[in-house]
Amino acid sequence: METFTQQEINQLSYDIVGCAIEVHKQLGPGLLESIYEECLVEELKSRNFQINTQVRLPLTYKTKTLRHTFKLDILVNNLVVIEVKAIESVLPVHKAQLLTYLKLARKPKGLLINFHTENITKSAIPLVTDLFAQAPEH
> What is the structure's pLDDT at 2?
67
Q: What percent of the chain has pLDDT over 90?
A: 91
pLDDT level of residue 58 (50, 70, 90 thresholds) = confident
Q: How far is it, in rounded angstroms, from Cα 128 to Cα 99?
A: 8
pLDDT of residue 65 exceeding 60: yes
Percent of the chain with pLDDT over 70: 99
Q: For residue 78, give the DSSP letter.
A: T
Closest alpha carbon to 78 in 8, 23, 136: 8
pLDDT tens track for 96-138:
999 999 998 999 999 999 999 999 999 999 999 999 999 999 9
Please tell me the CATH code under which domain 6-128 is placed.
3.90.1570
> Is the predicted pLDDT of residue 1 greater than 80, yes or no?
no
Q: Domain extents for the chain? A: 6-128
Whether the CB-CB separation of 87 and 114 falls below 8 Å is answered with: yes
pTM above 0.85, yes or no: yes
User: Quick one: which of 98, 79, 102 has its CA closest to 90?
Assistant: 98
Q: How many residues does the chain have?
A: 138
* Overall average pLDDT of the 73-87 stretch: 97
User: Is the per-residue pLDDT at 73 higher than 90?
Assistant: yes
pLDDT at 17 over 90: yes
Determine the distance from the C-alpha atom of residue 94 to the mean position of all C-alpha atoms in its chain, rounded to a whole number: 12
Q: Contact 110/66 with Cβ under 8 angstroms?
A: no
